[in-house]
A and B are shown apart, each in its own frame.
Chain A
Amino acid sequence: GAVVSQHPSRVICKSGTSVKIECRSLDFQATTMFWYRQFPKQSLMLMATSNEGSKATYEQGVEKDKFLINHASLTLSTLTVTSAHPEDSSFYICSARVAAGTSGTDTQYFGPGTRLTVL
């Protein structure tokens, strides 16, 4: 099946620094990837839709200058948390969309997540 990886799996950084998280589709190409944020014991909140070769589309309330998204190739999207602060500590999950085939519906495959802790 389709595999999505994320790197790093866990990162601890100091307040004010920037952190980059990579999301890769390993055995398929994804023109669209999604970035989610998950707080402890809560559901996933969609942050933005990342489209290969164009600007990301951010959900309402998500600061695009804070969370920079780059989708440079069909297998890689990156999320950079700029000037991170403790309130940015969270579990960040990406997904890659596989376009509808004979099933007639798109399917998203999720990465294992990146736990960010900002001290």
Chain B
Amino acid sequence: GNSVTQMEGPVTLSEEAFLTINCTYTATGYPSLFWYVQYPGEGLQLLLKATKADDKGSNKGFEATYRKETTSFHLEKGSVQVSDSAVYFCALSSYSSASKIIFGSGTRLSIRP
């Protein structure tokens, strides 16, 4: 079945450091891929998405590229800020899963001033 695997946290970085959170997926067909962010005590917000191979999603300085050959959708940001501290979820959706979203386990990111 479809699944998402992302790197375990917590990840702790200093402000202005480079961020990578790895995400790989297993899916039949051609899934859409997403990164969601959850700030403390809040629901999920869609951060970015990509719907086909080689698409790059980007938002708020974050970006991720849909790599079909490596079945990956790694999240990157060149210079993180304290306000980026949150939990990040990689996810996929496909017609084979009735368009339900399948989430990874989440990666907690903490940024030190």
Chain B residues, Cβ within 8 Å of A56: none
Residue on A with the closest CB to B101?
A108
Q: Does A67 contact B (CB under 8 A)?
A: no
| Contact partner, A105, options B45, B93, B98, Cβ 8 Å | B93
* CB-CB nearest 9 A-B residue pairs: A110-B44, A112-B43, A113-B43, A105-B32, A110-B43, A105-B51, A43-B103, A43-B105, A106-B99
Q: How many A-B residue pairs have CB under 8 A?
A: 52
| Contact partner, A34, options B41, B100, B105, Cβ 8 Å | B100
| Contact partner, A44, options B41, B89, B108, Cβ 8 Å | B89
Contact, CB under 8 Å: B105 / A107: no
Counting chain B CB atoms within 10 Å of each CB, the highest count among A34, A103, A107, A109 belongs to A107
Q: Does B46 contact A (CB under 8 A)?
A: yes
| Contact partner, A42, options B41, B46, B98, B105, Cβ 8 Å | B105
Complex A-B: 28 CB contacts under 8 Å: A4-B43, A6-B43, A34-B101, A41-B106, A42-B105, A42-B106, A43-B89, A43-B103, A43-B104, A44-B103, A46-B100, A49-B98, A93-B44, A95-B44, A95-B101, A97-B99, A103-B51, A105-B49, A105-B51, A106-B32, A106-B93, A108-B46, A109-B46, A110-B44, A110-B45, A112-B42, A112-B43, A115-B41
**What number of B residues sit within 8 Å (CB to CB) of A?**
21
The majority secondary structure among interface residues of chain A is: strand
A25 CB to closest chain B CB, in angstroms? Answer: 13
Bin chain A's interface residue count: 20 to 34
Q: Does B62 contact A (CB under 8 A)?
A: no
Contact, CB under 8 Å: A107 / B104: no
Chain B residues, Cβ within 8 Å of A115: 41
